[in-house]
Amino acid sequence: MDEWERIEYKPIPVRTLLVEMKNISELMIDLAYSSALFNSHELAEDVLELEKRVDTLALLLKMNIMIAARDARDAEDLLGVSLVSSSADKISDAAADIAYIVLRGIGIHPAVREAFERVEERLGRFEVKRGSILVDRRLRELRLASRIGVDIIAIRRGRDWIIDPKGEDKILEGDVLIARGAPSGIEELRGLSAGTLRRLED
Amino acid sequence: MDEWERIEYKPIPVRTLLVEMKNISELMIDLAYSSALFNSHELAEDVLELEKRVDTLALLLKMNIMIAARDARDAEDLLGVSLVSSSADKISDAAADIAYIVLRGIGIHPAVREAFERVEERLGRFEVKRGSILVDRRLRELRLASRIGVDIIAIRRGRDWIIDPKGEDKILEGDVLIARGAPSGIEELRGLSAGTLRRLED
């Protein structure tokens, strides 16, 4: 938690940074709610790690905006980007507030539970074990959305995160999948990741 | 914009206040993104109005928490509620930041557009005109989700808002419907609200 990355300017397109910040901050809200609902310290730690990433992206974005703006016209154009970036930062802070509730062992009041509960959808976080049929498969081939009604919304790979992974992204052994979907599909994904469920029906 | 409501203590269950704050703050994010994408001042004004409502709810919640807490144990239980409430407040501020981009005429940079675009889903905001077949119908009868793939996520009625309306809620003439769904369904809802489309196919 205390290793601070040295921030160094890298030329990254402003749009890439902004899209990633926005996607991560929204993912964090979902993760934070689920961490509170299921009292999951793992999810709460994920949220705090993502918050650090959002902070880093925010600084990189600031630097890239400075360099991209050559005149008043550019500065006006980029003002919106800068405001959206602060907004994603606030959302990410809000998610971290909720993660702290979990990590500091503050009890989840029934009112909080009610606010966070979503009947239709659940979130799951599963490590892909050796021998799971998911290993080395691309999301495209697995077609989890149509088969079990589940979307992989993020993959945590060691210290890296793939947010909103695409069809060509491959699942590796040891990945942690963050998925959203119908409760039955989430249970299937739990079995598939653990390797206890060996078939994916059409 | 400048009429401030006097805040008076009303005994409202903490859970009711918290659920409403959370739902409104999430709705605001969606509305804010759409206001930026479509440069809609109406949606941006909606966001600012909802922000005032969240502020009011936050104050009412604070008072109700104070009164609900009789001893140290209660105070511990209610700490989580208070933190979630601040978190919803931050999310609501983040949405307001984006609404200001629109209202102050700051151009929408392509990076912002890309961050906010959702291919699958669109948001629509339509006033229900006299003569529309939606008038005086309950959401349950209309079955918009199964028929046209659209969810009514809020109804604005004058200065009031019905957030996340239920099946028994009735649409009245002059209501403003905020809906989310497939682009084709959103276009159908536009016609139905305006009264130019007179049939709802099964």
CATH number, domain of B29, equals 1.20.58.220
pLDDT the model gives residue B195:
94
Final residue of a domain: which of A74, A92, A111? Answer: A111
Q: Could you tell me if residue B199 is inside a domain?
A: no
Residue A9 is which amino acid? Y
**CA A29 – CA A99 distance, rounded (Å):** 9
End-to-end CA distance of chain B: 42
Distance CA B84, CA B17 (A): 11
Report the pLDDT averaged over residues B38-48: 93
Give the residue-averaged pLDDT of B152-167: 91
- Between A114 and A128, residue with greater pLDDT: A128
Contact between chains at B115 and A84 (C-beta distance less than 8 A)? yes
Looking at chain B, which runs of residues are DSSP E strands?
A: 122-127, 150-157, 160-163, 176-181
Task: Check: CB of residue B179 under 8 Å from CB of residue B139.
Answer: no
- Tell me which of A17, A25, A106 to substitute to probe the interface with B (most B C-beta atoms closer than 10 Å): A106
Among candidates B80, B87, B97 on the partner chain, residue whose Cβ is nearest the Cβ of A94: B87
Percent of chain B residues topping a pLDDT of 70: 97
- What's the CA gap between B186 and B181, in Å, rounded? 6
Strand partners, A60: none
Q: Is residue B3 part of a domain?
A: no
Chain B residue closest in CA terms to A103 = B80
pLDDT tens profile A40-83: 999 999 999 999 999 999 999 999 999 999 999 889 889 999 99
Q: Which of B36, B94, B111 sits opposite A15 (nearest CB)?
A: B111
Query: Is the Cβ pair B88, A111 closer than 8 Å?
Result: no
How far A100 CA sits from the closest chain B CA (Å)? 9
Q: Does A137 lie in the same domain as A98?
A: no
Mutate to test the interface with B, among A21, A57, A97 (most CBs of B within 10 A): A97
Residue A5 forms part of a structural domain: no
pLDDT of residue A2 exceeding 70, the answer is no
Look up the domain containing B90 and give its range. Answer: 14-111
> Would you say residue A56 lies in a domain?
yes
Q: How confident is the model at residue B1 (pLDDT cuts 50, 70, 90)?
A: very low
Query: Residues A103, A125: one domain?
Result: no
pTM value is 0.85
**Distance between CA B19 and CA A201 in Å, rounded?**
38
Point out the domain boundary residue: A94, A111, A128. A111
What is the residue-averaged pLDDT of chain B? 91
B51, B92, B97: best to mutate for the A interface, most A CBs within 10 A: B97
A99 contacts A44 by C-beta, under 8 angstroms: yes
Residues A77 and A107 placed together within one structural domain of the fold:
yes
For residues B78 and B141, membership in a common domain is answered with: no
Whether A107 and A18 share a structural domain: yes
User: Quick one: average pLDDT of B129-140?
Assistant: 96
Number of domains in chain A: 2
pLDDT recorded at residue B9: 87
Q: Is the pLDDT of residue A18 over 60?
A: yes
Q: Regarding predicted confidence, which is higher, B113 or B25?
A: B25
Q: Could you tell me which of B55, B57, B48 has the C-alpha nearest to residue B95?
A: B48
Domain of A165, CATH number, reads: 3.30.70.1450
3-state helix/strand/coil string of B23-65: HHHHHHHHHHHHHHHCCCHHHHHHHHHHHHHHHHHHHHHHHHH
**One domain, residues B102 and B124:** no
Nearest to B94 among A91, A98, A106 (CB): A91
CB contact under 8 A, A111 and B14: yes
H helix or E strand, kind and range, residue A61: helix A41-68
What are the residues of chain B with a beta carbon less than 8 Å away from any beta carbon of chain A?
A: 13-15, 18-19, 21-22, 26, 29, 32, 36, 76-81, 83-84, 86-88, 90-91, 93-95, 97-98, 100-101, 106-112, 114-116
- Number of neighbours of residue A2 by Cβ within 10 angstroms: 3
In a domain, A45, yes or no: yes
pLDDT, residue A134, reads 97
Distance from CA of A184 to the nearest CA of B (A): 21
Residues A62 and A45 in one domain: yes
For residue A201, is it within any domain? no
Distance from chain centroid for Cα A49: 10
Query: Is residue B146 classed as helix, strand or coil in its secondary structure?
Result: helix
